[in-house]
Each structure stands twice: as C-alpha cells, then as structure tokens.
Amino acid sequence: MGDADEVAPVSGGSRDYDAVVVGSGPNGLAAAVALARAGASVLVLEAADTIGGGTRTAELTLPGYHHDVCSAAHPTGILSPFLRELPLEKHGLRWVLPGASVAHPLDGAPAVMLWKSLDRTCEGLGVDAGAYRRLIEPFLANPHGLLRDAMGPLGIPRHPLLFARFGSTAFRPATWVARGRFRDARARALFAGCAAHAILPLSHFFTAALGLLFAITGHVAEWPVAAGGSQAIADALASVLREMGGTIETGARVRSLADLPPARAYLFDTDPRQLAAVCEPVLPRGYVRRLRRYRYGPGV
C-alpha cells in the first residue's frame, strides 16, 4: 500500500515506522528484512502468538514430538536467491539434506527417484532417460541464473536465452509435457509429482513450470528440511531482522486500518480476504470484490 497520508490510520503505538508488515510468514519476514537492510525502520505485526505463517512447527500429537503445520521440504528455500544472501546459518538455521528428493511409488514396480545426480536419476527412467536428460540438462549449466529470473520480480530477465528456453516449456500444461516428452509411466509420474506443487489441475496452462522448476532444484540441491522443523526458517529470518533493528509484535491482530501505527508504507502477508477486510476503505471497489471472490485451493 502507499503513503500513510493516503491511508491516515490511527496510531496503534507511539512510534512511526517507514514500513509496517502485517503477517510474519516467510514472505512477510523476507520483505521486512529487505527493507531493514535498505535502512528502513520496520515493524512486523503477527496475530498469532508465534511467528512463521506456513513455516510454523508445533507439538500437534504427543509432548516432545514436533510437526510442521504446513510446509516441510524447502527446495526453493535453500535455493532462493534472496535467502542465499542472508547469514541464516549464523542465526540457527541448519538444512538437513535427504538421500533423494522424491520417491514416487508405482503399482507393481520400484518407486521412481529424483536424485541430485542427473545420471543416477536417468538410470531409473528406462526408455525415457534420454528425453528426461534433454529436458533438464540445459538448465543445470546455470541453475542459479534461471532461479533468479524465475523467482525474482517481473522484469527483463538477466539470462534471456535460458529463460526463453524455460518458458517455451513452462507455459504448457504439465499433462502435455508428460505425455509429449515421455513414453513410460515412470518419467511421467516423476514430472507430474513435481508439477503437483502448482496446486492446480495438471491440465491447466503453466503447470509445467512448477514441474520443470522443482525437477531442476532436485538436481541442484536435495529438497531439504530444516533441523528442528520449518519454524527454524522463520526464527532465523526474525533473528536477522531484529539484528538489523526491526521489531516484531505477536498477538497483534489487525482488524482495521485503525489498528495500524503511522508508516510510509504497509505490506500485507495475509490471504486475499483478510486484505479486503482490513483495507476496504482505501482500495478500489472492483479490486475488493476480486479479493473476496478468491477461491482457495488445496494444499500440496
């Protein structure tokens, strides 16, 4: 959102901030860190008693047994161009790498595996080994360049030829790529399992982008979990933010603009309907209607 002059909220505290971030999921915390790193004063407001959003970990069954509430494996976490710039390990984050990133079970046959080694993965794909190699190998020469273009803000890609090659496949439905590229169920199952992270029917356009992206990440760094649970990612980001002078308040539910302290900018790491509920007075009516009509999909 824009300047405080446009919103004119009632102060919820005694201090004015350059930016207030509502929601402490990994995106909200990353935005707060980026702003603090640029010299801004930042406040993060979290309604729950703990930070983390989709990277929370809790004792959901027996005492002492910790479970990830939402996300568990983080291939785009360990490879995120932004997170790679931060000293998260110095702030307590430790990645635990598996032997294989994916094991896709099949009826009456051994599971198909996604190993970091492209050669080893191809060995398990039978007749589709060559097709899989031709699909994936061109991107492994500069995977971090591709990930920076694919995961960064919209704009002119830094690696246009590589990104164009990615895009020529990425825009297609995953079903088209699986059936068009591969002849056997093993490679099709592996690609479909990666593409399922789009959280859309695999017949939709652009679902191949997730299949391709997640397969590539498995050959760059195994899909890791965070030691102690995904909460460790949020805790490390929060520690970095506090070291830079940022402030985090939990148990601070924002129900209206009046709950926000004055700031030059407001960022919302919330779901669409929460954004509509809080910001309806300052958002275009058509946009508010679209936010309220947002259809939630299944988790992965």
CATH at 49:
3.50.50.60
- Are 212 and 113 contained in the same domain? yes
Q: Residue 299: inside a domain, yes or no?
A: no
Q: Residue 55: inside a domain, yes or no?
A: yes
Q: Residue 184: inside a domain, yes or no?
A: yes
- Are 202 and 259 contained in the same domain? no
At residue 299 the predicted structure's pLDDT band, cuts being 50, 70 and 90, is low
Given a contact cutoff of 8 angstroms between Cβ atoms, the answer to whether 203 and 195 are in contact is no
Contacts of 285 (CB under 8 A, 6+ apart): none
Two structure tokens written together for 177: 């790529």
| pLDDT of 32 | 99
pLDDT value at 5 more than 90:
no
pLDDT value at 275 more than 50:
yes
Helix (H, G, I), strand (E, B) or coil at 267: strand
Per residue in 68-113, pLDDT (tens digit) is: 999 999 999 999 999 999 999 999 999 999 999 999 999 999 999 9
Percent of the chain with pLDDT over 90: 90
Per residue in 119-163, pLDDT (tens digit) is: 999 999 999 999 999 999 999 999 999 999 998 888 899 999 999
Q: Tell me the angle at which helices 207-218 and 129-136 cross, rounded to the nearest 10 degrees.
A: 90
At residue 208 the predicted structure's pLDDT band, cuts being 50, 70 and 90, is very high
Per residue in 232-266, pLDDT (tens digit) is: 999 999 999 999 999 999 999 999 999 999 999 99
- Are 119 and 213 contained in the same domain? yes
* Domain hosting residue 108, numbered range: 98-218
At residue 204 the predicted structure's pLDDT band, cuts being 50, 70 and 90, is very high
Cα torsion angle, 262, 265, 269, 273, sign: positive
- Are 211 and 235 contained in the same domain? no
Q: Residue 42: inside a domain, yes or no?
A: yes
Q: Residue 274: inside a domain, yes or no?
A: no
Q: What is the DSSP letter of 50?
A: S
Two structure tokens written together for 11: 């102060």
At residue 1 the predicted structure's pLDDT band, cuts being 50, 70 and 90, is low
The structure's pTM equals 0.90
Give the helix, strand, coil percentages of the chain, each rounded to 5. Answer: 45, 15, 40
- Are 200 and 125 contained in the same domain? yes
Give the CA-trace dihedral at 224, 83, 200, 126, to 10 degrees.
Answer: -40
What is the number of structural domains in the chain?
Answer: 2
